[in-house]
Structures are given as C-alpha cells and as structure tokens.
Amino acid sequence: MGLLAFLRCSLGLHSPPPQPSPVCCSPDGPHRLVAYLTEGSQGWILDFLWRDISASGVWGEKDSPELCVASDRDSLAAVMEGANAFVLVMFQGHLSQLLRDGIPTERVILYLSHVRIGLALPDLNQLHAVLALNAQEQSLLMIQGMDSRLLHRFRAGFDPNLFFSGPPLNQRAIDVLVVGRYVGSHNNNYHCRKRFSFLCDLLAILEDMGIRVALLGPGWDGCEYPLPSAVQQIDCSHPAYGAVYRSSRLVISVAAQEGRPVSFLEGLASGCLMLSVPTGFATEFQFGSNGIWHLPITANAQQWCEQIQSCLKTASQNELMVGGSLSPAREAFLEEASFDHLAQQLRQISSQPALDSRKESLDG
C-alpha cells in the first residue's frame, strides 16, 4: 500500500475513483465528427444548431466525416477510440471534465459562445480549434492569448428557406416584436438579467402610445409581471417564426444578455429593423446603419420608447428600409451565418490534422 493510500485508510477517507483510461485516436482510423450533447444540453445553442447543420448536404460529399452524437463520457470514448475523430463541445464545464476523463486535448473543438465567469479554462491553444460566436467573443479570446490560427468565428446559424426578406415595412401588421420564451424562476438574478419586468413595463408604455406590439415565444401566459392584455402573444413552432418576422417592422431585445442569438439573425434575414442592447451580433454593425440600432444597458423605458419611435420614423423615410430589402452589409453578414456555410466551415476544420500532427507548422 502506498503512503498516500495508507494515510487515507488511517484517516478513514475513501479513495478517489480510478481515472478512466486515456482515449487513443488514430489518424488512420475512420474519420468522425462527434457532437457532445448531454441531457442537460437540451435547449442550448449546440442542441438546435447541430440538428440543422447536420442536415446540410455538405456531409454527403466525398471524404466528409461521419457524424455522431455522444451523450456521456463512455459513449464519446467508444466512438472516438481508434478513430480519426474530433469532438465538438460547447459548455466549459464539459470541456474540463472530458479532458480529465482522458479525451485527447488536440481532438477537441470548443464552441465558446459566451465566456462564463468563474469557470476556469485549460490552455485553449492545445485544442484542435475554438469557435467564437461573434467578433466580440473572438476579440476577448485573442486578448487572453488565444492563437488566431486556431480561432474561428462561427455564427449561430439560420435557415434561408424559412427566414427571408418580406413585404414593405409599411404593409406589416406588427410594429414591435419581442422574440423569446418566458421562464419562471425563483432565481432573482436570472429574471434581472433577462429583464422581464423591464420588458413588461416597456410594452405597457408602447401600447399606451398606440404602437402595435407582439410577443413571439412560449411561456408568457405564466409571466408573473403585469403584461398588457392588448399585447399579442404568439406561440407557434419554430418553422412558423419566419412568417411572424415578415409581419413585423421592428424586432427589439432589451435583455442585458440575449438568451437565443438566432432571433437577431432571423429578424435580420426577414428584413426587420433591429434594436438591441450592444451585445452579441449587434456590435458588429455601426449604430443606425443597415436598419440596426443599439441602446446602452442603462437606458430606461422612456429612452427605449423614444428610440423605437425614432427607428420607425427613420425607416419610413428610407426607401431601401421601407421596401424590406436587404443591404449589401446584411447580405454579407447573413451569408456567413447560413447552415450550409457553417457546415462547410465545420467540415474544413474537422478535416485538418490533429494538433499533434501540425504542431511544428504552427510553431514555425
């Protein structure tokens, strides 16, 4: 018995569980790309993004990797063992645990949609690649020393067949649309962050001003904050969202942190005006250009109302915006965010040799 084991036994402490054997991949094995989707990943970005990306025809082309899904460490190890496999991980906590469980660092692609405070990260430069949701996240990672050659901007994705430019703005029945679900919670911090109370106050003021407002998403029947009865509540399946966007003039997001980034892409593709706090994708556009505006997080409800009125008025005087057409800047932005583009990007990343095979070229 070793000294450490003897001391543990003397103190009545349990021995730590044995570490799993390291997973051994092989560049000569079957080429695979694995999405790590645990039960707790449902409703997260990677969950709905993987479904749409994996449906792209890109994966039917020659030399494309086999697509797999793993829900725990053992199923992941089984599909990676002996294969030329890469695993796509999203949650930072999953990353650290998988590396401790013997998943090869150089076989991991991390989709870092948001940097999570308080969750330590290993050396990201040892991973196969890191995917950043937007330019803001990309810049933060580079400030922290991330090698730009391993860093890729990876939009959240939208389907151009569902979301496309609609009729002229002056023919749309909804003036202001809010997209997102309401989630009841005993965690006051969550509700403060999502600003549900502030949103309900804002909608009440807009209704009093005669502005037609609507909420798109489930759960609002259970909202614990006063919600004007005249506000139109729309709860439909996601494929039907496009028709709602094309009936709306302006999409707003008052949240300090947006929960689902696709609403920005989908509204943008549908020819809607966009007003948001300066987070995520909104920061990649100059204020007031291409029908996109920002408001600081500290702006109050009255400032939001004034900006909404200004946006609607400005758009009514702009021929391009009135027509619901997409500007070249919008089109270029959206081209990078289509599911087929993201699938092609992910296929190229997963076709590169693992880091241990290309370390010399990166160091050189």
Number of structural domains in the chain: 2
pLDDT at 40: 73
Examine the domain organization and report whether 183 and 254 are in the same domain. yes
Would you say residue 10 lies in a domain? no
Examine the domain organization and report whether 348 and 300 are in the same domain. no
Would you say residue 225 lies in a domain? yes
Examine the domain organization and report whether 286 and 347 are in the same domain. no
The CATH number of the domain where 234 resides is what? 3.40.50.2000
189: CB partners within 8 A, 6+ apart: none
Four-residue CA torsion sign, 41, 161, 346, 82: positive
Note whether 322 and 315 are within 8 A (CB): yes
196: CB partners within 8 A, 6+ apart: 182, 223, 225
Kindly state the tokens that stand for 93: 């906590």
Examine the domain organization and report whether 92 and 235 are in the same domain. no
What SS3 state is found at 234? strand
Four-residue CA torsion sign, 36, 38, 44, 50: positive
22: CB partners within 8 A, 6+ apart: 102, 104
Below-50 pLDDT ranges, the chain: 257-259, 358-364
- Strand-pair partners of 176: 213, 250
Strands of the chain, DSSP E: 31-36, 66-70, 84-89, 108-112, 129-132, 151-153, 174-179, 213-216, 232-234, 248-253, 273-276, 292-294
Phi then psi for 253, rounded to 5 degrees?
-135, 110
Q: Domain residues for 189?
A: 169-335
pLDDT at 362: 46
